[in-house]
């Protein structure tokens, strides 16, 4: 199924801040497809349009964000920063928030897991977007629910299950 941004109620601002990433046009296409698949899978027929910022950065920048906001002094693959309290109900807020990815960690994980970098980027954008839409994985029940949505959204794009 070919998902397009017109299938998602989002305006996306994309920034390549640092790191070795695919070109901006390819990243834009990956983010748009990921967002469309998430909205299609979650059935989010919520009123309004929202804005999403996606920042492609590096391990040094995300390590600082992780330390400052989560008290974890280490890089991670993706962080999400909601602009408003996350909720799965009601209209979309005017701004969902920011998703930030770290190039070295993302590339290393893709290589270790023997998956195409583009598939891993798509999965991580979906993961971050689901957090901004109110999903979490703090408990086993939450994790199972979030992973099920991720698997189904990825399947819409013919991307293999990353949890298999």
Cross-strand partners of 57:
102
Q: What is the pLDDT of residues 81-114, one digit of tens each?
A: 999 887 777 778 889 999 999 999 999 999 999 9
Region 55-79: mean pLDDT is 93
Which residue ranges make up each domain of the chain? 5-156
What φ, ψ does residue 141 adopt, rounded to 5°? -65, -45
CATH number (3.40.390.30, 3.30.110.30, 3.30.70.270, 3.30.1860.10) of 5-156 reads: 3.40.390.30
Region at 158 (left for phi over 0; alpha for psi -120 to 50; beta for the rest): left
Mean pLDDT of the chain: 90
Question: What is the pTM (predicted TM-score) of this model?
Answer: 0.90
Model pLDDT, residue 108: 97
**What percent of the chain lies above the pLDDT cut of 90?**
69
DSSP assignment string, 7-35: GSSEEEEEEE-SS----HHHHHHHHHHHH
Position 6 pLDDT exceeds 60: no
Confidence band for 49, pLDDT divided at 50, 70 and 90: confident
Confidence band for 72, pLDDT divided at 50, 70 and 90: very high
Query: What distance in Å separates the CA atoms of residue 23 and residue 121, rounded to the nearest whole number?
Result: 13
Confidence band for 27, pLDDT divided at 50, 70 and 90: very high
Q: What is the pLDDT of residues 120-150, one digit of tens each?
A: 999 999 999 999 999 988 888 999 999 999 9
Query: What distance in Å separates the CA atoms of residue 5 and residue 12, rounded to the nearest whole number?
Result: 9
Query: What distance in Å separates the CA atoms of residue 145 and residue 138, rounded to the nearest whole number?
Result: 11
Q: For 52-99, what is the HEC assignment?
A: EEEEEECHHHHHHHHHHHHCCCCCCCEEEEECCCCCCCCCCCCEEEEE
């Amino acid at each position: 199924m070919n998902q397009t941004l017109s299938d998602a109620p989002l305006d996306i601002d994309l920034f390549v801040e640092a790191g070795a990433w695919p070109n901006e046009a390819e990243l834009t296409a990956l983010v748009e497809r990921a967002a469309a698949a998430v909205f299609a899978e979650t059935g989010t027929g919520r009123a309004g349009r929202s804005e999403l910022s996606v920042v492609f950065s590096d391990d040094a920048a995300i390590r600082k964000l992780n330390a400052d906001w989560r008290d974890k002094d280490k890089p991670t693959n993706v962080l999400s920063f909601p602009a408003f309290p996350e909720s799965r109900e009601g209209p979309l807020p005017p701004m969902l928030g920011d998703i930030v990815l770290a190039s070295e960690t993302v590339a290393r994980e893709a290589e270790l897991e023997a998956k195409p970098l583009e598939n891993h980027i798509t999965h991580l954008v979906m993961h971050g977007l689901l957090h901004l839409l109110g999903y979490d994985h703090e408990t086993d029940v939450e994790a199972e629910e979030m992973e099920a949505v991720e698997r189904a959204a990825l399947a819409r794009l013919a991307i293999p299950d990353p949890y298999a």
